[in-house]
Amino acid sequence: MSKFSAFNFALFFALIFSACSTTNSDDDCICTDEFRSEYVFILDSEGVPLDSLQTLMINETTGDTLANNNGAFVYERGMYWLIDDNYVKDLTTAPQTFIFTAENGATSVGAVYQFATDNCKCHIEKVSGPDTLRIK
């Protein structure tokens, strides 16, 4: 392999690896380009997914309300947004508690969740909280 070809080969791989990640120079972190979101399924007492619930997600420590889509996720009935990587800057590696509520008139359900982030603040991580809520 000629010197020119070896250089081009090395340059090609260097460009590929640098294009696939975001580097945090403070911690020498490498973040993936994926975008993480957390959701909860809400079912009625018979296991049927519920739509048209108004949702609220509040950071218990700060009292801040997270902006949300205020309704079921459009691709799957009964699936509701909790949090996503847009909030990674507000999280720390220590879990923070969030209060989730969903209601529609007399029907209501809620749960407590804990979320954190990694040392590089790349992605959210669900520490605790249910994947499914059932209205009884």
Domain ranges of the chain: 1-33, 34-134
Higher pLDDT, 133 or 5: 133
> Which residues make Cβ contacts (< 8 Å) with residue 61, sequence separation at least 6?
96, 97
Predicted pLDDT of residue 93: 96
* Predicted TM-score (pTM) of this structure: 0.76
d(CA 33, CA 20) in angstroms, rounded, equals 7
Q: What is the pLDDT of residues 53-92, one digit of tens each?
A: 899 999 998 999 998 755 555 678 899 999 999 999 999 9
Share of the chain above pLDDT 90, in %: 62
Q: Would you tell me which CATH number, out of the four given (2.60.40, 2.60.120, 1.10.20, 1.20.58), belongs to the domain 34-134? A: 2.60.40
Indicate the pLDDT class of residue 23, thresholds 50, 70 and 90: very low
Cβ of 115: how many Cβ atoms within 10 Å? 23
- Is the four-CA dihedral 62, 126, 89, 41 of positive or negative sign? negative
% the chain with pLDDT above 70: 75
